[in-house]
Amino acid sequence: MLPLRVRASSLGVLYRLPVRRLFPAAFPRCYSVARAVQEPRTGTTTPVPDESALIVSKSPFYFEAGYALYAKRPSRPFPPPFLSYPSGSYSDPLSTHDKSRDTRPTVNGEMIRGVTNGDDAVLVSDSFIGANDGVGAWATREKGHAPLWSRLILHFWALEAERAKYGGNATPDPVSYLQRAFEQTKEATAEPNEWHGTTTASGALLSSDDSGGNGAHPILYVTQLGDSRILVLRPRDQEIIFKTKEQWHWFDCPRQLGTNSPDTPVNNAVLDRVEIEEDDIVLAMTDGVVDNLWDHEVLQNVLDSMEKWKNGAGSSKQRDGKEPGEQSYADGMRFVAQELVNAARVIAEDPFAESPYMEKAVDEGLSIEGGKLDDISVVAAQCKRRNV
């Protein structure tokens, strides 16, 4: 699908509208057939360095989490020095366990955390989840690499959150963590080779508060910049108790961090402190979900998925190598994320469906129908209390 790009000289950020949306008659319903063979990728953890054990959370609460991903097109490989390809030299060690044979992407000598999905990136840990949406129009630029930007910012953001000292009277400051991550990403993509890109950023950091004297209760610190979304659901009451608001410069041009963008975390990110309960579900989603499913559809999909999971759906031994009784809460969240990706994908690939994206476009005076074909990334995390 060819993008139509318009540069806004006042802001210097990239704006695009798919040509299919401007000339829908030229793109019949069968345009998605080539992607039909792709299946969502799923998981319950995103990689961390082998030699680095996960930092023990400062909170008595933690996330049981899973993710699901569907890319509208394959992601560009990371360039050197972030990814070193095997040389094939006879002098190389033969063992794949030797560090010289490790082809996982690195930055500053450390493996890059998270997972890339097209131009998106997601990250899962026991106290932090995030979903960043890289602006795909950078793929048309010689030095453009949006997935590198979205992944690096998430990587550095998670590291800052892990290393931060908070607890007691000190509260987390995810916006300052994101600001430092932004600055480190700019440095990493400036030398030895310059790489351009922009990305939205959404993250949820789980902590706790025992100041009330009634024991610790979970607190969620939600940071938002752009049009990805954090949603908090309470299955017990079957309701949405919190959601972030999208930030736009104008239609289809969200606030974003990176090359030529005026946006910065300290000036534009929004931080919310949300009191949650054990078993509440936190969703981190890129606009591949938000533009294709309304909030009430997301809520109902999650509730239905949880009910299916309790009844044994998604727990086949052939797929997971586990008996149904061996499935964890994280496996359940993976199933929830996958079902949500599947539902968003159905709308995204239907040029005649009604969608939130279509509704926003009509409000702007644009004659657009159907879903929005985009990278679809979901992290689903359920708050649990540690058994200590």
pLDDT at 22: 39
What confidence score (pLDDT) does residue 377 get? 98
Report pTM: 0.84
Q: What integer pLDDT is reported at residue 148 of this predicted model?
A: 97
**What is the residue-level pLDDT of the chain in tens, covering all 388 positions?**
333 333 333 344 454 444 334 333 333 333 333 344 456 799 988 877 665 544 555 679 999 999 999 999 988 899 988 986 554 544 544 444 444 445 689 999 889 999 999 999 999 999 999 999 999 999 999 999 999 999 999 999 999 999 998 766 789 999 999 999 999 999 999 988 999 999 999 999 999 987 655 668 999 999 999 999 999 999 999 999 999 999 999 999 999 999 999 999 999 999 999 999 999 999 999 999 999 999 999 999 999 999 999 998 876 443 445 554 567 899 999 999 999 999 999 999 999 999 999 999 999 999 889 999 999 999 999 999 998 6
DSSP classification of residue 221: E
Residue with tokens 């500053």: 108
Identify how many contiguous H helices and E strands the chain contains and give both numbers.
9, 20
Cβ 359 vs Cβ 383: under 8 Å = no
CA distances from 340 to 34, 285, 294, 317, 330 (A): 22, 10, 12, 22, 15
Residue numbers of the domain that contains 301: 3-385
Amino acid at 243: K
Token digits of residue 203: 């993250």
Helix (H) or strand (E) holding 317: helix 317-320
d(CA 166, CA 180): 17
Number of domains in the chain: 1
Query: Domain of 319: which CATH number?
Result: 3.60.40.10
3-state secondary structure of 66: strand
Nearest Cα to 226, choosing from 244, 204, 206?
Answer: 244
Structure confidence at residue 115 (pLDDT) = 96
pLDDT tens per residue across span 219-253: 999 999 999 999 999 999 999 999 999 999 999 99
What are 89's two structure tokens? 């030299």
pLDDT of 263: 98
